Structure 1
Amino acid sequence: MDGGSGLDELGRRRALAARMGGEEAVARHRGRGKLTVRERIDQLCDPGSFREIGSVAGKAEYDEAGRLTGFSPSNFLFGRARIDGRPVVIAADDNTVRGGAADATIDEKVVQAEKMALELRLPMIRLIDATGGSVRTTEALGRTYVPMNPGWDSVVASLETVPVVALVLGSVAGIASARAVSAHLTVMVEGMSHMFIAGPPVVRGATGRDLGKDELGGARIHERAGAADLVVPDEESAFAAVRRFLGYLPSASGEEIPRAPCDDPADRREPALASVVPPDRRKVYRMREIMEAVFDAGSVMEMAPRYGRSSITALARLEGRAVGVLASDPMIYGGAWSADTAMKVTRFVDFAETFRLPVVHLVDIPGFRIGLDAEQAGTIRHGSRALAAVYQATVPWCSVIIRKCFGVAGAANMNPERFRFRYAWPSGDWGSLPLEGGVEAAFRRDLDAAPDRAARLKELTAGLEKYRDPFRTAEAFNIEEIVDPCETRPLLCEFAELAYRLNLREPPRTRARP
């Protein structure tokens, strides 16, 4: 075949691949309100930056003379691109070809995509719109097979090396769901995204339960379960989330963390913070208002807001420098850590450690959640794992104790064996147990023997109340500095500046996990 005819053939095959699953399949796909895979790539990436690899891979048919008579492209695309000027790897499913079914793809393309991100140290962006395995594979092979996930070692290694984002852009199941959650940020689209271990037909056949897609694996289900970090209204918002998320992170662990322009003064003081915490300890307040006040204006990007809700996890900036944020939410269980909160904290601390993000912890932790439900959920096991994550972390860490800090969960405010970059507001309240409830436990016999139990309880509580003064703790240097709340932003900006002077390129101790 001479050069000219070879180029003609290349053009022909590329044109066939660009048709995706054909006019009818593409029309059906768009009829569901979805962009095609190539439209998605065009909208996400910088214009003209996508360089596809394996563009003419697929299933071909030939006549007896060796002439091409039919061609169905692989339903998995990948290549390099740029997002806001940053090189990335794009791995995208084409749902118009056999519904994105795993048995209609070419495994080696998936493997090479993951290896490309890992070995070239480029962020991996997965656009997932695929189903899992099918019994059709058994029919085609004429046998069954022992399951394996080709290239999964690269999937796991990438979590320790580069930012990984997965957008769930359709109804996905099986291995596609596993790819979706094996990411640092998993985004689902309201009304469009569904994620299943196995879809409704399989569940119906295996269990007899007839569940709809939303009922079994809708976006809101996974948002509450923690499998989805964000739920957004449309595909455009999903692409915007990718761009924003990458802006806080290096391209790979150990590389420089980008600094954003900032016109929010580092010395900005917020007088309103002095009254945000109610004097009555039984009353709650909005932690997110504090976050908006102390971090750069508009810089807070919350992750997993509907999961493990007594702790807020977010990315934010201080004078343009990216930080990871842990913050208690006293509106949920008073800020007490439940089992799912502890799992959320563990994952977030591992994430910050992987990319060497300094951590700011805004603390109001009355302890672990208590009661039968908490015991049945294994809260102490998950809580101890979160405590280990905090104590294993080596990134710069600054804690601000806003109000409560009690018990084993409260001890996760930071690792006290390190330099304690820690402040407290005058509203600080800490100890092994709060007086409320603690007096009952400590003086039970005394109370039971008292002629007037309620009066004796009141007397004991009043006698201990004076020891609750946070300034007594500061006198013993058990809290390093009590500060005016309005000084919090300047102090945190100073912390971020000092943190970024450290060598953040040392490898993390912990290993990231999905």
Structure 2
Amino acid sequence: MSWQPEIDELNRRRQLAHAMGGPDKLKRQADAGRLDARARIAALADPGSFHELGELAGFGSYAPDGSLTAFQPANFLYGRATLDQRPVVLTADDFTVRGAAADAALHRKLTEAERLANEYRLPLIRMIEGTGGGGSVKTLASSGYTYIPELPGWEVMIDNLATVPVVALGLGPVAGLGAGRQVMAHFSVLVDGLSQMFVAGPPVVLAAGEKRSKEELGGAAIHAANGAIDLRVATEGDAFAALRRFLSYLPSSVYEIAARSNPADDPRRRAESLLSAIPRDGRKLYAIRPILDAIVDHGSLFEIGREWGTAIVTAFARLDGWPVAILASDPMALGGLWTAATARKVERFVDLADTFHLPVVHLVDNPGFMIGRKAEEEATIRWGSRALMAIYQATTPWCSVILRKAYGMAGSGHGPADRFRWRMAWPSGDWGSLPIAGGLEAAYRAELEAAEDPAATLAAIKAQLDAVRSPFRTAEHFGVESIIDPRDTRAELCRFATLAQRRLTPGKRPGGWRP
């Protein structure tokens, strides 16, 4: 006698699991413009590569004779797959089953997905939709008791942030623990109009006296501007594409070094536009992104966090095929002054680069920290000091290119000062403890008051000091290692990126990584 009856039962249960929440719920999902969990997995995984774990997990109902009469699959799917030929762990919340709430979940599945990524050093991709938390009030009523909250698998999520790339795609409403899982990631994405994120949704907020729609409460635009997510996109397809690009710059774990792509751009390429990219008038602004595009490998710049902390650009790119992390001042935003938000953005990105052993290239035009009452209310000096701490604690290779300003305490964050300084400046470099122009009249008040022609005296003093602040004077005293022709920047940075590989050492970063 064969085991065919059991194989038939296996296939039946598989069919029930793949039915998810049933035709009506699947239609509702599609009518809302959202893919279902299994469609998302199919869209991401290389064809035929997804191997589901816990496929039969769920909640069965049985007749007195023990036969299965009904089955509700668990609303969390996971398994191993390859993505662009790289092994990964894929997870997806199934919103068609109880809105992906915890009362239809088996928490061990979520924890085991995190453990698989952690122990086998595989990038982890979370496709999040729903709450994933403690269930509803009705859940408590049916269970007949309450409990002290805990977060299943949270300790593994924490360790994953120090071990493997973690990406969270919010592909629908995300609340409670779902929102926590969304931000506990190195790269977090929401879809405009489709995804919202909140600690508690509109019904709970209404009970607290605030009436808001889902978009008003936690739309993608809100969280892109406050830094809770790294990117907002127009469609689910855009989210999948962004995920692929992000992972392309990173190793599969901190125990590896990110791979070099096949170089397709001349490392000695010179862009004539760089010669006039910085205005001679230091009060005039300029666009930083065209400069970045001219320096890095063609088409390789991938910016994240564009909508918050806007005085700094954070991006990944390639230099002669080598992946690097880019920090670049943006004078079009507050002249490049560091606000509290900018400092937090710098800290987070530097820690990310250090965690995954990506060399940092910092293009500097930093006039200092933001000043004024609002800056004090935002504790700018505390967040700024934390950013400087991250820079000085970073161990990954670091190259600074000073384009224009580097002033004060914030200006000292152009790079770590306690190790070899791979540092260069353009002839437009302008630095010091504070801008000379800002304190000129106060410093020479007595001379100006005693002068027969104060205006002429002030002009003469200014001319004298302009000569003193020449970057060539600094270079004479080895206060800057080199001054370069801006058109040679790409070649210099490609040399840095190549030699930086000699300093990269796989392994965990002390202290881990915090979102």
Task: Quickly name the TM-score band, shorter chain normalised.
Answer: over 0.9
Change (3 A) 1:446 1:342: farther
Cα deviation for residue 449 of structure 1 reads 8.3
Distance 1:262 1:465 in 2: 43
Query: Mean Cα displacement is larger for which, 449-458 or 355-364?
Result: 449-458
Indicate conservation of the 8 Å contact 2:256/2:507, yes or no: no
Q: Is 2:396–2:504's contact at 8 Å kept on the other side of the alignment?
A: no
C-alpha spacing 1:139/1:476, structure 2 compared with 1 (3 Å): same
Q: 1:144 aligns with which of 143, 146, 149?
A: 146
Give the direction of change, closer, same or farther, for the CA distance of 1:74–1:4 in structure 2 (3 Å limit).
Answer: same
Say if 1:354 and 1:510, in contact at 8 Å, map to a contact too: no
Q: Which residue of 2 aligns with 1:100?
A: 100
How far residue 452 of structure 1 moved from its aligned partner, in angstroms, is 8.2
- What CA distance in whole angstroms lies between the structure 1 residues aligned with 2:69 and 2:510? 55
Contact 1:405 1:430 in 2 (8 A): yes
Matched, 1:430 2:428: no
Structure 1 residues 475 and 94 mapped into 2: Cα distance closer, same or farther (>3 Å)? same
**Which of residues 180, 203, 206 in structure 2 aligns to 1:204?**
206
Q: Distance in 1 between matches of 2:3 and 2:449?
A: 98
**Which residue does the alignment assign to 2:355?**
354
* SS of aligned partner of 2:189: strand
Residue 124 of structure 1: aligned partner: 124
Cα distance in 2, alignment partners of residues 349 and 104 from structure 1: 39
Query: Could you tell me how far apart the structure 2 residues matched to 1:150 and 1:69 are?
Result: 30
Structure 1 stretch 460-469 or stretch 210-219: which is displaced more?
460-469
CA contact (8 A) 2:78 2:92 kept: yes
Q: Mean Cα displacement is larger for which, 253-262 or 35-44?
A: 253-262
- Aligned partner letter, 1:328: S
Separation of aligned partners in 2, 1:447 and 1:174: 64
Counterparts in 2 of 1:463-502, with a 5 A limit? 463-502=464-503
Pairing 1:124-273 to 2, within 5 Å after superposition: 124-131=124-131, 132-133=133-134, 134-206=136-208, 208-273=209-274
1:326-365 aligned at under 5 Å gives the runs 326-365=327-366
The answer on whether the counterparts of 2:319 and 2:497 sit within 8 Å (CA) in structure 1 is yes
Deviation of 1:326 after TM superposition, in Å, equals 0.4
Q: How far apart are the structure 2 equivalents of 1:144 and 1:82?
A: 41
Q: 1:506 to 1:446 in 2, by over 3 A?
A: farther
Whole-angstrom CA distance in 1 between matches of 2:454 and 2:180? 57
The question of whether the paired residues in 1 share the 8 Å contact of 2:254 and 2:507 is answered with no
Give the structure 2 partner of residue 387 of structure 1.
Answer: 388
Contact 2:159–2:512 (Cα < 8 Å) also in 1? no
SS in 2 for 1:267: coil
Q: Unaligned regions of 5+ residues in structure 2, if any?
A: none
| Deviation, structure 1 residue 135 | 1.9
SS state at 2:267 partner: coil
Distance in 1 of aligned mates of 2:451 and 2:376: 32
Separation in 2, partners of 1:447, 1:211 = 60
Q: Residues 123 and 436 from structure 1, CA distance in 2 versus in 1: closer, same or farther, beyond 3 angstroms?
A: same
Alignment-derived partner of residue 42 in structure 1? 42
Q: Which amino acid aligns with 2:55?
A: S
Counterpart in the other structure of 2:58? 58
- 1:458, 1:30 → 2: CA distance? 71
Cα separation, 2, equivalents of 1:379 and 1:458: 35
Task: Using the TM superposition, give the Cα deviation of residue 444 of structure 1 relative to its aligned residue in structure 2, in angstroms.
Answer: 5.9
Task: Judge conservation of contact 1:394–1:509 (CA < 8 Å) in 2.
Answer: no
Given that 1:102 and 1:130 are in contact with CA atoms closer than 8 Å, whether structure 2 keeps it comes out as no
User: Can you list the C-alpha shifts for 1:13-39, whole angstroms capped at 9, x where unaligned?
Assistant: 110011100000000010001111111
Task: Report the Cα distance in structure 2 between the residues aligned to 1:193 and 1:222, rounded to whole angstroms.
Answer: 11
SS across alignment from 1:401: strand
Aligned residue number for residue 114 of structure 2? 114
TM-score by length of 1: 0.97
Q: 1:82-135 CA distances to partner (integer Å, 9 max, x unpaired)? A: 100000001110000011112221111111111111111100000001124322
1:192-247 Cα offsets, whole Å, 9 max, x none, are 010001111111101x1111111110000000000110111101111111111111
Which amino acid letter does the alignment assign opposite residue 491 of structure 2?
Answer: P
CA contact (8 A) 1:89 1:113 kept: yes
Structure-2-length-normalised TM-score: 0.97
When structure 1 is superposed on structure 2, of 340-349 and 447-456 the one drifting more is 447-456
Q: What is the match of residue 319 of structure 2?
A: 318
Cα displacement (A) at 1:460: 4.1
Which residue number in structure 2 is paired with residue 420 of structure 1? 421
Q: In structure 2, what is the Cα distance between the partners aligned to 1:452 and 1:113? A: 77
Is the partner of 1:42 in helix, strand or coil? helix
Letter of the 1:491 counterpart: E
Give the Cα–Cα distance (whole angstroms) in 1 for the partners of residues 453 and 202 of structure 2: 62
Q: Which residue of 2 aligns with 1:396?
A: 397
User: How far off its partner does 1:456 sit?
Assistant: 6.2
User: Residues 19 and 449 from structure 1, CA distance in 2 versus in 1: closer, same or farther, beyond 3 angstroms?
Assistant: farther
Q: How much does 1:464 deviate?
A: 2.0
Q: CA deviation at 1:461?
A: 3.3
Query: Are the equivalent residues in 2 in contact too, given 1:254–1:356 (CA < 8 A)?
Result: no
Point out the more displaced range, 89-98 or 494-503.
494-503
Question: Contact 2:257–2:504 (CA<8 Å) still a contact in 1?
Answer: no
> What fraction of aligned residue pairs are identical, expressed as a percent?
54
Match of 2:378 in 1: 377
Amino acid at match of 1:32: A
User: Alignment RMSD, CA only?
Assistant: 1.7
Alignment deviations for residues 25-71 of structure 1 (CA, whole Å, 9 cap, x no partner)? 00001000111111100001101111110001011100111111100
Aligned pair in 2 of structure 1 residues 460, 232: CA closer, same or farther (>3 Å)? Answer: same
CA distance in 1, matches of 2:50, 2:236: 19
CA distance in 2 between partners of 1:457 and 1:374 (Å): 32
Q: Distance in 1 between matches of 2:137 and 2:164?
A: 34
For residues 442-494 of structure 1, the C-alpha deviation after alignment (integer angstroms, 9 at most, x for no partner) is 45676688898777655543442221111000000000000000000000000
**Distance apart, 1:186 and its partner CA:** 0.2
CA distance in 1, matches of 2:205, 2:272: 56
> 1:389-426: CA deviations, max 9, x gaps?
00000101100000000001000000122101011000
Structure 1 residues 448 and 215, CA gap change in structure 2 (3 angstroms)? farther
1:364 to partner: Cα distance: 0.4
Give 5+ residue unaligned stretches, structure 1. Answer: none
Specify the SS of the correspondent of 1:129.
Answer: strand
SS in structure 1 at match of 2:207: helix
